Amino acid sequence: MGVVGRRVVRYQSAGAGVEAEAFPRATPRWHARYLGATPEDDAARGRLRADPVLAPALAAHEGLRILRQEPWETTAAFLVSANNNVLRIEGILRALARRGDALGSPWGERHAFPDAATVARLPESRLRALGLGYRAPFLRATARLVASGDVDLDSLVGAPLPEVREALLALPGVGPKVADCIALFALEAGGAFPVDRWVLRAVSEAFFAGREVKPREAEAFARARWGDDAGLAQQFLFHAVRTRANAPGARRLSATQNDHQGQERVARSAPSWTRSSP
């Protein structure tokens, strides 16, 4: 159970699908869009299944989806996440959410995430007290830009990726990785390919025979191989390599070998690194 915009939602497994409820009520199309389960999303997954390296990961992690999240809340969340751990991020976001409007529902009261104007009015000292530390001035300055209308995040939804990146990188505290995360998870920029050490590891071991790969090289490779589906491919790469790393007896990834021109020779058998167990 959680909050999406100004709706309280409750999702739970129901056989092979998901039982979805919202207050105020939402249409099946609204739920499908938020959950990344539209026909367009399914088409993207179909294209990735044609990739012999990714196909086992899609089969192993069938429920993995990219949610279409609210732009301002997502931007704030990723500013909070910089050099932070999951527990602290969750705590800070819960504390911020308590500054938002109370929302009633049949399942109890929840709070909407505060809008940019509300966050912009909070003193920096208050934001620091919530645990933001050095991130406090970045969040406050970005909130002011959004609240004033100088930055219109909603207008970036579906815009070309270069335009989205340029606008996001102009925000205080937003670097390339955070910009790509916001673009992918809130602005429908499917070609965005956020790169961290786990994604670099997956790309290196699955496509470059373990050779060290730089972030820009990994991103260029992903865009060339998957185009506007690169962001979805990133999610399967990330989840597969993390699952593999945490499995008992984890081994080094070894899905493919390739030459320096990036022409991969895919292993004949299903790539073991994409399986959820050894």
pLDDT tens for each residue of the chain, 278 residues long: 899 999 999 999 888 788 999 999 999 999 999 999 999 999 999 999 999 999 999 999 888 999 999 999 999 999 999 888 899 999 999 999 999 999 999 999 999 999 999 999 999 999 999 999 999 999 999 999 999 999 999 999 999 999 999 999 999 999 999 999 999 999 999 999 999 999 999 999 999 999 999 999 999 999 999 999 999 999 999 998 888 766 554 444 433 323 222 222 222 222 333 322 22
- Alpha carbon 14 to its chain centroid, in Å, reads 24
**Counted domains in the chain:** 3
- 44 and 30 belong to one structural domain: no
- 160 and 213 belong to one structural domain: no
- 142 and 207 belong to one structural domain: no
Sole residue written with tokens 């530390």: 133
- 278 and 195 belong to one structural domain: yes
- Alpha carbon 162 to its chain centroid, in Å, reads 18
Res 153: pLDDT: 97
C-alpha–C-alpha distance, residues 92 and 87, integer Å: 9
- 63 and 193 belong to one structural domain: yes
- 127 and 155 belong to one structural domain: yes
- 170 and 234 belong to one structural domain: no
Task: Give the helix, strand, coil percentages of the chain, each rounded to 5.
Answer: 50, 10, 40
C-alpha–C-alpha distance, residues 178 and 189, integer Å: 13
C-alpha–C-alpha distance, residues 79 and 219, integer Å: 22
- 176 and 269 belong to one structural domain: no
DSSP category for residue 248 = T
**For the domain that residue 139 is a member of, what is the CATH number?**
1.10.340.30
Give the pair of three-digit tokens for residue 60.
């192993």
Q: Which of 121, 177, 225, 242 is catalytic?
A: 177
- 217 and 261 belong to one structural domain: yes
C-alpha–C-alpha distance, residues 211 and 198, integer Å: 14
Which of 129, 164, 186 is the last residue before a domain boundary? 186
- 218 and 275 belong to one structural domain: yes
Domain extent for 226: 40-67+189-278
Terminal Cα-to-Cα distance of the chain (whole angstroms) = 33
Q: What is the DSSP string of 167-181?
A: HHHTSTT--HHHHHH
Sole residue written with tokens 């790169």: 195
- 261 and 172 belong to one structural domain: no
Quickly count: other Cβ atoms within 10 Å of residue 218's Cβ.
22
The strand pairing partners of 14, in sequence order, are: 17
- 129 and 227 belong to one structural domain: no
What is the model's pTM? 0.86
Res 246: pLDDT: 61
Mark whether 214 is an active-site residue. Answer: no
Which of 186, 203, 237 is the last residue before a domain boundary? 186
